[in-house]
Amino acid sequence: MKKFLLMIISAALVCSCKEATNADVAIIEKKPVEVKDGRLSAEVLHLLGQVGGVAVAPDGKTVLYGVSYGDIAQNKRNRELFTVAIDGTNKTQITHSEKSENEAQWIKNGEKIAFLYDSQIWEMNVDGSARTQISKYEKGIDGFKFSPDGTKILFISNVETVHAPSAQYPDLDKASGRIIDSLMYKHWDEWTTSVPHSFVADYDGKGLSNIIDILEGEPFESPMKPWGGIEQLDWSPDSRTIAYTCRKKTGKEYTQSTNSDIYLYNFQTKETKNLTEGMMGYDTNPKFSPDGSFIAWQSMERDGYESDKNRLFIMELSTGEKKYITEDFDYNVDEFCWDHLGGTLFFVANVLGTSQLFHVDALSHEGTIVKLTEGDHDYISVALTNGYLVGLRHSLSAPNEVYRVNLADGTQTNISQENTDILEQITMGKVEARWIKTTTNEDMLTWVVYPPNFDPNKKYPAILYCQGGPQNTVSQFWSVRWNLQMMAAHDYIVVAPNRHGVPGFGQKWNEQISGDYGGQNMKDYLSAIDALAKEPYVDETRLGCTGASYGGFSVYWLAGNHNKRFKAFWAHAGIFNLEAQYLETEEMWFVDWDLGGAFWDKSNATAQRSYANSPHRFVDKWDTPIAISHGELDFRILASQGMQAFNAAQLRGIPSRMLIFPNENHWISRPQNGILFQREFFRWFDQWLK
């Protein structure tokens, strides 16, 4: 989903060397960091721990979470597990391993912790001792969830759907060709040769047995790629039923539809029931109420529209009656959980540029929604414990930490304190919310980030940040690559507008961009940078522009339509040629909805307007230095798009540079590649703006 494009992709890394059991293997863990000049840099950014995977103990007294650390020299990262008391005391690292522990969760009423290690399920004592492997599944496991009674395990593993050529031609055992007969043969960064299935196994306290594929013989995904995990499945409280998310489509039909459904699988009868038949958009993430009488899930209304309003629904299972809980709430529901009694739902929603926690009485007819938190930050998860909510929180000035929210008074407390020691050494730039008028006379929230130790009597170069998605809020996000504080630390003023076509400002604002690439949102970008360029501390002769994905498209489009406002551009993984993009991408629902349809449909006015606004049609107007970066494993927007743009700039005699990553996809995930990106990024802008 688009909401994850720039958010759940950030990674912070820490370099450490602690000897493992094998003397030749160094375990990557945290080590002390000294920030000598008080400035955030690419190297310091990669020395911050990435906190995630929060789970609250059944008694509500302890929180379990993971932290990813990285080693720049080894060019890899490792994830360790921690526990901390709900009051923030007794923080303890409970693993010290060569490989990452993932999907950690409490089992056996909080007496044990289960986790994935090397693609198998393990368990251990709460202090990390007595590690025991409890699965030996040959194809590996990607996620799991114990049944409430502890006798079964639901887990995810891939099932092969495309066989090697040697299956048809045994004498060609070394042939590498792929024989393709239908669409969705590639997805994001992989060739589609398998699909995730959900399995159920008996668990006797020692190992797994009687493994059942609940989609046996079906070529469908559950959970759904590319983002879905165990959160797309749930156990009923009586351990008899599994709710799972699935889009039961393949090939061309799969590429053109977002119509997924919530299914109930009865473990005893082996029967499957579709709960959301007739609901035509994405239906995802089912969660049973504590007594099992209701089920809640997120739902989009329209088929083919992946950025439709994400609504919150509940169903009374005994009657099948559905209720749209957030009908009067003009914003997306991003994450949610039930209260302990099953009458209230807590959820995360982005409203006016920040993601806060809310609750709603799920069973009353009023469904009044109450906002629980305030502040310039984003929550990205929510869980309930005794009198508190627990969630991951970050901002433009700080990476993820585990926060406790007091339900009585709204007090928010950082209980993980993973990065406090490093952040205390860094002078962050001031973050300001500016409301700027658009050409439609509407107010647009624009985040402005100032350099550390900002001097209003000086003049600074400025960089316009263009958001990807396209329907992703420019919220209080923290990113290793698109880190606005790091741009500010290099003495740039950063201008980040929430232009038309992002959620968090009502559905009308969000939907405006569909079929209007190169339209109103581009005027919004120019309105934002023009407003800041008028400030006495901004040097209007030294303006830059950057962005990724749709932000990269924006850079390419503005390069031909900026009327000499900018002095340098940088585009990452951007769409340059919309006609080529229509036939190169994999999820056809995306281009069909966003662009309006195929370029060969001459009777489709929306589509023809979209393709007439393709950035490649304005190359004759390019007059400004431009840098381009792309990953060759990017199957969403192929690297050929970046190569076309670079070639065009070179042939036009425009100063240009290209940074290609053979082993990266739509993002840049490897530490050394990330640092290389940052060094080249600032070398480029410093060259032209300083």
* Angstrom distance (rounded) from CA 540 to CA 439: 20
Residue 481 CB neighbours (<10 A): 22
* Angstrom distance (rounded) from CA 402 to CA 387: 16
Task: Check: CB of residue 335 under 8 Å from CB of residue 382.
Answer: yes
Please compute Rg for the chain using Cα positions.
25
Task: Check: CB of residue 290 under 8 Å from CB of residue 270.
Answer: no
Beta-bridge partner residues of 346: 337, 359
Which tokens sit at 184? 């969705």
Annotation marks residue 616 as catalytic: no
Strands annotated E in 502-624 = 538-548, 568-572
* CA torsion, ordered 547, 551, 552, 558, to nearest 10 deg: -100
Which tokens sit at 296? 């809640």
* Angstrom distance (rounded) from CA 220 to CA 247: 7
* Angstrom distance (rounded) from CA 168 to CA 396: 53
Residue with tokens 């926060």: 403
DSSP single-letter state for residue 231:
G
Strands annotated E in 424-486 = 431-437, 443-449, 460-466
Catalytic residue among 135, 514, 549, 554: 549
Q: Residue 588 — left, alpha, or beta (φ > 0 → left; ψ -120 to 50 → alpha)?
A: alpha
Task: Check: CB of residue 447 under 8 Å from CB of residue 432.
Answer: yes
Annotation marks residue 549 as catalytic: yes
Annotation marks residue 289 as catalytic: no
> Side chain identity at 600, as an amino acid letter?
W
Catalytic residue among 46, 634, 656, 669: 634
Q: Where are the alpha helices (DSSP H) in 229-372?
A: 251-256
In sequence order, the 6+-apart residues with CB closer than 8 A to the CB of 289 are 295, 296, 314, 338, 342
Instruction: State the chain's maximal CA–CA distance in angstroms.
Output: 76
Catalytic residue among 46, 490, 500, 666: 666
- In the three-class reduction of DSSP (H, G, I as helix; E, B as strand; rest coil), residue 557 is classed as helix
Residue 441 CB neighbours (<10 A): 6
Strands annotated E in 72-137 = 76-85, 92-93, 101-107, 112-117, 120-125, 132-133
DSSP β-ladder status, 62-71 and 50-56: antiparallel
Per-residue H/E/C for 349-390: EEECCEEEEEEEECCCCCCCEEECCCCCCEECCCEEECCEEE
Which tokens sit at 384? 């309930």
| CA angle (326 as vertex; 498, 358 as ends), nearest 5 | 70
Length of the chain: 690
Q: What distance, in Å, lies between the first and last C-alpha atoms of the chain? A: 38
Which tokens sit at 32? 């002390």
Exposure b/e, 17-46, CB count within 10 A at least 16 = b: eeeeeeeeebbbbbeeeebeeebbbbbbbb
Which tokens sit at 633? 């494993």
* Angstrom distance (rounded) from CA 198 to CA 492: 48
Active site residues: 549, 634, 666
